[in-house]
Structure 1
């Protein structure tokens, strides 16, 4: 049984649902707040995810960060050496999707030269009638940038655990590859 620890950075524009996602994941869907106050700075949440078909798990240290540039200097220090990335945008807000490039660039600058597993998450699928970012467009962008992709509705409790399961499997796989490399050198 292997217990891995991973620093997970949750990034995206303000009001896309990062804090709601983190809270729902941490409480297994038991804590959806209807009224959120905008995150100022960073909130740290911790939760373990079991890896299917193994006895292994990944304990995530989730850094839920403010989406405002005002806090960028603070973020840069706390974002140092991430293990996994979770970029969130609102499917009804094209600017939040377009800004994912900026967030990804900032995150990758903190881990230059390293492969960091990541996932792009389209939130608010419950507002399908107001969708402006098409799933295919987002999927293609994610693939182009080496990210996995998923959509969810935190409000409707749909797929809110998916991003973290994707990240846990990716991080675990990376760990296994490093162990195999190490053993091949021995």
Structure 2
């Protein structure tokens, strides 16, 4: 079984670092061959917009990342979410909002409660991570896998009802 997750957000918020640390740490996330997780890192560049449109044709879940020290990266989350959801109109796109660089508490520009409230309003789960300190980086991906599993079970039930 395969599912696709878009990993998106502004440049330099830590998307690539988050994906790399998650992929490379096999000791904490054992590979299960019945589920393959494909993570597309958008690199946050508009330059790749046309290519992203092709990759984003049918995401199952979304991982939206911002930098907790950058209010602009948080404010741009709405734009990235709209872009991802526009690829599958009429369908809900579950996912997570990840505030990265939580280790930089002294430079924090986005309040956790504000981000959590926004995520909730958008139907997203909220997590804060520090890739640098290797803190909580697995939680968003485990949540995405659970969300996909739920979607998969719903589709199976629909097919069973048709038979």
TM-score (norm 1): 0.81
The structure with the largest helix share of the pair is 2
Which shifted more, 66-75 or 151-160? 66-75
Report what 2:146 is aligned to.
169
- How many residue pairs were aligned? 162
Moved over 3 A (4+): 47-50
Please give the per-residue CA displacement for 1:26-75, whole angstroms capped at 9, x wherever unaligned. 00189xxxxxxxxxxxxxxxx9865xxxxx95311111112121221221
Report what 2:112 is aligned to.
135
Report what 2:91 is aligned to.
114
1:159 aligns with 2:136: yes
Report what 1:65 is aligned to.
42
Q: Is the 8 A contact 1:29 1:157 kept in 2?
A: no
After superposition, the Cα gap between the structure-2 partners of 1:168 and 1:49, relative to the gap in structure 1 and judged at 3 Å, is farther
1:11 aligns with 2:8: yes
1:76 aligns with 2:53: yes
Structure 2: 5+ residue runs without aligned partners? none
Name the CA distance, whole Å, in 2 between partners of 1:22 and 1:115: 24
TM-score (norm 2): 0.92
Of 50, 61, 68 in structure 2, the residue corresponding to residue 91 of structure 1 is 68
Name the CA distance, whole Å, in 2 between partners of 1:165 and 1:108: 21
Please give the per-residue CA displacement for 1:52-104, whole angstroms capped at 9, x wherever unaligned. xxxx9531111111212122122111211111110000000000000000000
Structure 1: 5+ residue runs without aligned partners? 31-46, 51-55
